[in-house]
Structure 1
Amino acid sequence: MTDKALSIGGLETVYDALATAIDQAGADKAQLFLVKLALLNANALADENLFQQQITAALQDL
């Protein structure tokens, strides 16, 4: 994994932006939006193994 991490403030900003975008997409398109966002971020990350680790981490304690 990378040593880069967002600050708490940065995480709050990202969370707020994500919540706003999900609301903007609407309930009928929220899932599609999240899949598109995940694929865009996977491409930006450029590491399929790290992306798989992120999926595993996100599935924890749902």
Structure 2
Amino acid sequence: MNTAPMTSGLGIGALEAVYDTLAQAIDQAGPGKIELLLVKLALLQAQALGDEQAFQAQVEAALRDL
């Protein structure tokens, strides 16, 4: 498995905008639906990424240092 760090084409400003969008979506979903929202979003992003191994690497990266 590739353990190289994932790189992103997004700059700090774009990442902040993505963070804000995600925070607003979480607020809109409400406490009982946050997990469902995040699973649906992850599946949609995996489909958009089109690379199962890259998605698995991103999941592992997200799990680090929780």
Fold match by TM threshold 0.5: yes
Q: Which amino acid aligns with 2:39?
A: V
> 2:6·2:58 contact (CA, 8 Å) conserved in 1?
no
Helix, strand or coil for the counterpart of 2:32? coil
Cα RMSD of the aligned pairs, angstroms, is 1.6
Q: Which has the higher contact order (CA 8 A, sep 6+)?
A: 2
C-alpha displacement at 1:5, in angstroms?
1.5
TM-score, normalised by the number of residues in structure 2: 0.88
Gaps of 5+ in 2: none
TM-score, normalised by the number of residues in structure 1: 0.93
> 2:46·2:55 contact (CA, 8 Å) conserved in 1?
yes
Q: Any runs of at least 4 consecutive aligned residues in structure 1 with deviations exceeding 2 A, and if so which? A: 1-4
Percent identical among aligned pairs is: 61
Q: Which of 12, 18, 21 is residue 17 of structure 1 equivalent to?
A: 21
